[in-house]
Amino acid sequence: MQFNKLVLSMLIGASLMSATAAVQARELVLGLIPADNNEEMIKTFEPMRAYLEKKLGQKVKMFTATDYAGVIEAMKKKRVDIAWFGPLSYYLAEQEAGAEAFAVGIREGSNSATYKSIIVTPCDSGIKSIMDLQGKSVAFVDPASTSGGLMPSYMVKQATGKMPQEFFGKFTYAGSHDAAELAVKNKTVDAAADNDITYPKMLEKGLITKESNCIIAESSPLPGSPLVYRGDLPKELKAQIRDAILNADKEIKVTGYGKISHYVAVEPKDYQMIRNMVKELGLKKEQLK
């Protein structure tokens, strides 16, 4: 009996070592949802990719997709190991791929990781509130976007008693936050959803102005966009990734969604607000892809 237990213990240990070796034998893949255009995202996250590669001692490459669902699906199929998600896309990755949130960025000049959803219109449109958008053409970002999908849907439902597709005349998705802002600037839509990270960044770059794109509504604070890893990664590797990210600001100028000063630990329970909102709106997983 003791011999059998010893053999079983050795087999389990060998299996765990084999799993760790399998991950370490290939490149680690870092997934990025298309919150902005993919070229911009890759440029922004390059310092963190290079830093992780150095600290983990193995190759790290980036993965992007044309929509949020593409990154979630890649993690589900074990083609992505680590990812920067928004809160809602993290919730979906948690459901679909066993993703675990472990870190979140703190914005420069703040001690908070929170951000807000906003609704923007052309400044000369005469639109002043969500109620003025009845029958109008409106673009959100992506069904799996928190600030560009879930929260503005919640805001519309709270203000009007109707879901966006029932209240607006034409309802579309722009695909990214910057595309939504440009649709407003070019007046191809009457309004669009965005967040208070992309909006000031585009103002700073001169891509939009306060005379072209005006905010007519903003949400209550949302939990910050989390950095997650697949739950089935080896425990030792997850600890190495987590420690590297939480200490990154000691070695490099960190980057992330918006201007980030450093990263702090976060847990899945910190995103219960998102789970509650999905439930309150009665949304099914297939409606968020």
Residues 151 and 117: beta-carbon distance below 8 Å: yes
What global pTM score does this model have? 0.84
Instruction: Tell me if 151 sits within 8 A of 222, measured CB to CB.
Output: yes
Position 162 scores a pLDDT of 97
Largest CA distance in the chain: 82
Domains of the chain: 2-112+224-273 (3.40.190.10), 117-218 (3.40.190.10)
Q: Which of 5-14, 139-148, 178-187 has the lowest mean pLDDT?
A: 5-14
pLDDT, residue 3, reads: 46
Q: Is the pLDDT reported for residue 145 higher than 70?
A: yes
Average pLDDT (146-171) is 97
pLDDT of 195 > 90? The answer is yes
Average pLDDT over every residue of 195-208: 95
- The least confident of 12-26, 157-171, 253-267 is 12-26
pLDDT of residue 99: 96
Residue 135 CB partners (closer than 8 Å, separation 6+): 168, 169
Percent of the chain with pLDDT over 70: 91
pLDDT band at 8 (very low <50, low <70, confident <90, very high): very low
Does residue 152 register a pLDDT over 70?
yes
110 band by pLDDT with thresholds 50, 70 and 90: confident
Instruction: Kindly tell me if the per-residue pLDDT of 80 is higher than 70.
Output: yes
Half-sphere exposure of 37 (CA within 13 A, CB side): 7
Q: Compute the average pLDDT of residues 226-252.
A: 96
The pLDDT value recorded for residue 25 is: 52
pLDDT of residue 39: 87
| CA distances (Å), origin 277, targets 152, 192, 199, 220, 237 | 11, 20, 24, 13, 33
pLDDT, residue 14, reads 46
- In the sheet with 137-140, reading across from the earlier edge strand, the strands are 170-173, 137-140, 191-195, 117-122, 213-218
Least confident of 134-138, 235-239, 253-257, 272-276: 253-257
